[in-house]
A = this chain, B = another copy of it.
């Protein structure tokens, strides 16, 4: 009965088109010794409150080790859920009459669960173009029709969004990152948020509002979330502890009307049962015992300085033909080369010859073959010295090519 067969693996239609990105070829160079990387998206190491994490960790394992080690429930650690419900209610992001809150294994899981719960293969999901590649790949992994709507200075272009909604009456979700967007660093102003919400109402679709950086505002004033204007129950809100505590603990949360959270909970249960207890309990204890606003103020100061440093360097060293966003928060800024420039060639030359890694903008497009002349710079991960040195070198390259 033994029939030797060389297996030919047939992957599902959902995932067979998901490929390791061509951009990885460029990112590979980021680990080459001597390369200065502006390609990451990591929090600054000095932003981690290491001392208090040590204290809390020791206490958790001393006081109630079994609760840390035993199975938890899918919805999340109850004290953390209650704390976040209360905090989010104060920010207008949680309606106790209508909403529920689930703790997830990072905010990434909110995108995955929302898409799995709401989208059939071929359904349309509209996103900003460019947008966060991790979310776009999560959507693609459910074989949706992913439609990118170009951004202007204020976020998703409303005329183009309305056209996309008309063209795709099967649109199930509009995915937006309104604060300090990844990759552009742009913030969608209140008036534009209201337009987006009104369009979602007019075309009866839901909105997935991703807000991983909202607490990291270092300039300008907070803008109300789209969730806070949700009269209909059509907004799913995603938050994260990755940028305000630590990404390695993998703790985020999703807020939506109960019926939606209930379905996402079933989907989470079959995916990873529950989020690791240590991370959840750490997040709870941390928020509960520190002056959280003072902690955030410290983080904002770190990122304000780093962003300012990078922008000063750009001002001093870059060719004037390069346009850059000036983010009011978050981790990234977005540089645009002159029309017709060979962006990919620029990024390749930067890393291979000048040893400066940036992320080519097409990494954030719905399709990597979509045209863009922009690239992303990260200022949160590199040291101050690396920012100074790297931006000067990159500036030299821009002047050589474009001046």
A270: min CB distance to chain B, Å:
4
> 1/0 per position for A39-81, CB-CB distance to B under 8 A?
0011101001010011001100110011111111000000000
* Of B72, B111, B273, B279, the contact of A276 (CB 8 Å cutoff): B279
A255: min CB distance to chain B, Å:
15
* Of B6, B69, B104, B246, the contact of A248 (CB 8 Å cutoff): B69
* Of B2, B69, B141, B202, the contact of A50 (CB 8 Å cutoff): B69
> 1/0 per position for A2-15, CB-CB distance to B under 8 A?
11111101111111
Q: Does A138 contact B (CB under 8 A)?
A: yes
Contact, CB under 8 Å: A263 / B65 = no
Contacts of A269 in B (CB 8 A): 134, 137
Give Cα A7 to B123, complex, Å. Answer: 18
Q: Which of A84-92, A227-235, A343-351 contacts B (4 or more CB under 8 A)?
A: A227-235
Contact, CB under 8 Å: A137 / B266 = yes
Contact, CB under 8 Å: B233 / A7 = yes
Contact, CB under 8 Å: A61 / B70 = no
Query: Contacts A45-B66, A61-B54, A272-B106 known; A278 to B249 CB distance under 8 Å?
Result: yes
Most buried by B among A53, A104, A198, A272: A272
Contact, CB under 8 Å: B9 / A105 = no
> 1/0 per position for A291-311, CB-CB distance to B under 8 A?
000000000000000000000
Q: Does A323 contact B (CB under 8 A)?
A: no
Contact, CB under 8 Å: B61 / A57 = yes
Contact, CB under 8 Å: A250 / B272 = yes
Give Cα A138 to B172, complex, Å. Answer: 23
| Identical copies of this chain, number | 2
Contact, CB under 8 Å: A69 / B247 = yes
A-side residues, CB < 8 A to B, are 1-7, 9-15, 18-20, 41-43, 45, 48, 50, 53-54, 57-58, 61-62, 65-72, 104-106, 108-109, 111-112, 116-121, 123, 134, 137-138, 140-142, 172, 198, 201-202, 204, 206, 231-234, 242, 246-250, 257, 259-260, 262-263, 266-267, 269-279
21 sample A-B contacts, Cβ–Cβ < 8 Å, listed by A number: A1-B201, A2-B198, A7-B206, A7-B257, A11-B117, A15-B263, A20-B262, A42-B70, A42-B71, A70-B247, A71-B248, A105-B271, A112-B270, A116-B141, A134-B269, A137-B269, A137-B270, A250-B274, A250-B275, A271-B271, A278-B279
